[in-house]
Structure 1
Amino acid sequence: MRTVLGDNQYGKAETRIVRVDRGDTHAITDLNVTTTLAGDLAATHETGDNSGVLPTDSQKNAVFAFARDGIGEIEDFGLRLARHFVDGAPTIHRARVQIEQYTWQRMSVQGQPAHHSFARAAGTRTTSVTYDGTNSWVVSGIGDLTVMNTTDSEFHGYHRDRFTTLPETHDRILATAVTARWRHAEPSGDWAAVHEAAREHLLEAFADTYSYSLQQTLNAMGERVLRNCPELVEVRLSLPNKHHFLVDLSPFDLDNPGEVFFAADRPYGLIEGTVLAEDAPDAGLAWW
């Protein structure tokens, strides 16, 4: 039986880099960077000819070297790296750079901002940049953003089969850890401002949507972002349902008027979906 080589790629996963900008007060940029390259690489797979391979160690070193000149916004940093890999190696036809940026907040001492002290904060900013030698696609986002509504959430009227035991509820806790990614219409812009706006609209939609399902809440969050951020054309959301079950205190002769809950970590429902602008351009390689 004959075989042919299919799609393939390679890269350096999770290069951890921290840059400290030293001025009157210090600033931290804390990143996890993954580079992935694809192109004319059949020879290394089929014969072991590595002449077209840019080593993954070189990719790691490029991340560190580019950071020496300053990182700036992670989308711009990713674009610089992706263009470097494709434009600098004749066998590389596509580069993807994925970046997670960990959030650090400046601490305060006696009410004054600290010069060089920080505390890790919630929410991880993300980006995925793809460049094919001609076109660039940028997807930004946020992860590890845990939110909760303690009321204004119901779940009932669902289909039942012989395995259904879940009781209907007209008042429940709704909690999730938001992973959201949004596609930019153009590979340029005020990345920080769009990120902050998208994050704020996600949170606002979660807070003020009276929810009959987490799916409904997901759609409301994506719609709110797209209505208010014209730079974006698509939002993808992954929302695990962080279940909170009312504890039965009757064996102890105690009532429980919706005050004591058991927070279960698994198994959990996982709700995922995409909201697009009606005239969204083709995604190209953005989500590949």
Structure 2
Amino acid sequence: MAIVLGPNRYGKAETRLVRVVRDGGVHHVKDVNVSTSLSGAMREAHLTGDNAAVLPTDTQKNTAYALARRHGVGQIEDFALLLARHFTRHDTIHHARVAVEEYGWNRIGDTGHSFSRDGGETRTCVAHHDRDGRASVISGLTGLVLMNTTGSEFHGFLTDPYTTLRPATDRILATAVDARWRHTGVEADFAASYALVRRCLLEAFAGTHSLSLQQTLYAMGERVLATCPEVCEVRLALPNKHHFTVDLTPFGLDNENEVFHAADRPYGLIEGTVLRDDAPDAGFAWE
């Protein structure tokens, strides 16, 4: 029996980077979390400890800071591609994966330099680049919390001796959207694309009379693909943030869908992919 080295990669995870652009008295903040991961000619590093092919993870961290100073941090997709292309210039690095999360800040008043942390969703992206020049970009968001207080049902489901859930014809539907979408190319107006995809997700969630969270998931992905020609695939993870009506009869009170217990766990987790049937091969793993 032979023992061999399987797929492997290494990198620097969660490099926190804040770039401040001073436009006179008005400042602009980009707050990002950068994770780099490289793979390539790593056999000797694993088998003999020869590190000649290894670009230190500390160097990867420093590169993120240096390129942020030299080129700025505009759209996170462009910055991730910039880093990925830089790393694959090394002969021993065959593939670079760069993931970036962006945290929003809101300006306070008219001082030009005071901000409060945005409590909304986190913008994300993953860029891949290899030594053959192939590249891909996956944009996304996480933690987009949505709720419909009506317009949601769930009934007609499979039952067995352990089923206690009652059918519902009017319930709260709440979730925290984790969405990722693949672009057909790497040259795009990522700011405009992000805004449009986000709008589609919101409109489809609000505009769908839901018979299941699965149905809502498909409607959200379908709306994105029907509206955004530069997107060919959407992956969604929707935790079902359960809201249960509280039994107030012990207190002589009725409760017609007005008072709820918001349960944080356990929760249903609905995941799915919606894609064009002619979508090109991704070329790289999403993860």
Amino acid at match of 1:258: N
Q: Any stretches of 5+ residues in structure 1 without a counterpart?
A: none
Aligned to 2:243: 244
TM-score, length-normalised on structure 1?
Answer: 0.97
1:286 CA displacement: 4.7
SS at match of 1:143: strand
- Distance, in Å, in 1 between the alignment partners of 2:82 and 2:151 is 45
Aligned to 1:116: 113
Q: Any stretches of 5+ residues in structure 2 without a counterpart?
A: none
SS at match of 1:10: coil
SS at match of 2:5: coil
- The RMSD of aligned alpha carbons is 0.9
1:107 CA displacement: 2.2
Q: How many residues align?
A: 283
Aligned to 2:45: 44
Q: Aligned pair 1:62/2:71, yes or no?
A: no
SS at match of 2:104: strand
1:126 CA displacement: 0.5
Q: Does structure 2 retain, via aligned residues, the 8 Å contact 1:138–1:286?
A: no
- The aligned runs of 1:76-115 (5 Å cut-off) are 76-87=78-89, 89-108=90-109, 113-115=110-112
Instruction: Provide runs of 4+ in structure 1 moved above 3 Å.
Output: none
Aligned to 1:230: 229
Amino acid at match of 2:3: T
Aligned to 1:265: 264
Distance 1:114 1:173, change over 3 A: farther
Compare the two structures and name the one with the higher strand fraction.
Answer: 1
Aligned to 1:73: 75
- For residues 172-229 of structure 1, give each alpha carbon's deviation from its aligned partner in whole angstroms, at most 9, with x where no partner exists: 0000000100000001110000000000000000001000000000000000011100
- Distance, in Å, in 2 between the alignment partners of 1:143 and 1:197 is 16
Please identify, of 113-122 and 4-13, the stretch whose mean Cα deviation from structure 2 is larger: 113-122
Aligned to 1:140: 139
- Distance, in Å, in 1 between the alignment partners of 2:8 and 2:165 is 44
- Distance, in Å, in 2 between the alignment partners of 1:107 and 1:262 is 34
- The aligned runs of 1:88-237 (5 Å cut-off) are 89-108=90-109, 113-121=110-118, 122-133=120-131, 134-237=133-236
TM-score, length-normalised on structure 2?
Answer: 0.97
- For residues 237-259 of structure 1, give each alpha carbon's deviation from its aligned partner in whole angstroms, at most 9, with x where no partner exists: 00000000000000111111111
Amino acid at match of 2:88: V
- For residues 69-89 of structure 1, give each alpha carbon's deviation from its aligned partner in whole angstroms, at most 9, with x where no partner exists: 2111111111110011111x2
- For residues 9-36 of structure 1, give each alpha carbon's deviation from its aligned partner in whole angstroms, at most 9, with x where no partner exists: 0000000011111113111100000000
Q: Does structure 2 retain, via aligned residues, the 8 Å contact 1:139–1:286?
A: no
Amino acid at match of 1:66: L
Amino acid at match of 1:126: T
SS at match of 1:284: coil
Identity, % of aligned positions: 60
